[in-house]
Homo-oligomer: A and B are copies of this chain.
Amino acid sequence: MKKTVVLLSGGLDSTTTLAYAISKGYEVVPLTISYGQRHARELRSAKAVAEHYGIKQHVMTDLDLSFLTTSALTSSKVDVPKRGSLDDISEEIPVTYVPARNIIMLSIAAGLCETVGGEAIFIGANAVDYSGYPDCRPEFLKAFQHVLAVGTKAGVEGRPIRVEAPILSMSKAEIVALAKKLDAPLHLTWSCYQGGEKACGRCDSCLLRLKGFHDAGLVDPVPYEASP
């Protein structure tokens, strides 16, 4: 059975990506990296999602990125912005940008992928609703795949690891619809940037998620602090 490593944060996008890889016949090895993000709540979701699928090998690892002091997701000194609506989300790279985040995540996934003899890494990167993150663009993913071709044992031995981003060009509504079609456990996922017991409903991530469910004509099964 062909193997793949799936980066699984426990959010909507990565869970849908996991469900997609499974639907394509892959034996999946989810990789969850705890990097000191505020929403450690996500990690519980990642575990629950992997258990839902009865996955044998779920690799969880810790990486202290608290020295990346400019990001709201790694530093408690930077506030996660709360907004009234999606209209307030600017085109600029937001404070939730973690420097080199996807580069770091994909690198660790590459190490695991070589170790388990996998042929691809699946990542739930999205270039549509991505809020300006440079490491969610197709050009970046292509460049990273080239790094794996020339910089790993698998690559130089003629078995280059592919980088697959199946939801890259989908709108949030399309992602929600795909998740529904694949019967992904959306009730177990977590997308909110805050670490509360209920989703805040006001951060970028919540606003995009809620709009996605709305546009897909579905109700988000996750509890929210206030009605959005």
Question: What residues of chain A have their CB less than 8 Å away from a CB belonging to chain B?
Answer: 59, 61-65, 67-70, 93, 97-104, 106-108, 110-115, 134-135, 137, 139-140, 143-144, 146-153, 155-156
Interface on chain A toward B: helix, strand, loop, or mixed SS? Answer: helix
What residues on B are CB-neighbors of A153 within 8 Å?
93, 97, 99, 134
**CB distance A100 to B151 under 8 Å?**
yes
Of B106, B112, B139, the contact of A67 (CB 8 Å cutoff)? B112
Residue of B nearest to A99 (CB): B114
**CB distance A99 to B64 under 8 Å?**
no
Tally of this chain's copies: 2
**CB distance A151 to B143 under 8 Å?**
yes
What residues on B are CB-neighbors of A99 within 8 Å?
110-115, 152-153
Of B110, B135, B139, B146, the contact of A100 (CB 8 Å cutoff)? B110
- Rounded to whole Å, the gap between the CB of A165 and the closest CB of chain B is 13
Of B100, B108, B152, the contact of A111 (CB 8 Å cutoff)? B100
Bound: A187/B36 CA distance, A: 36
**CB distance A61 to B64 under 8 Å?**
yes
**CB distance B68 to A115 under 8 Å?**
yes
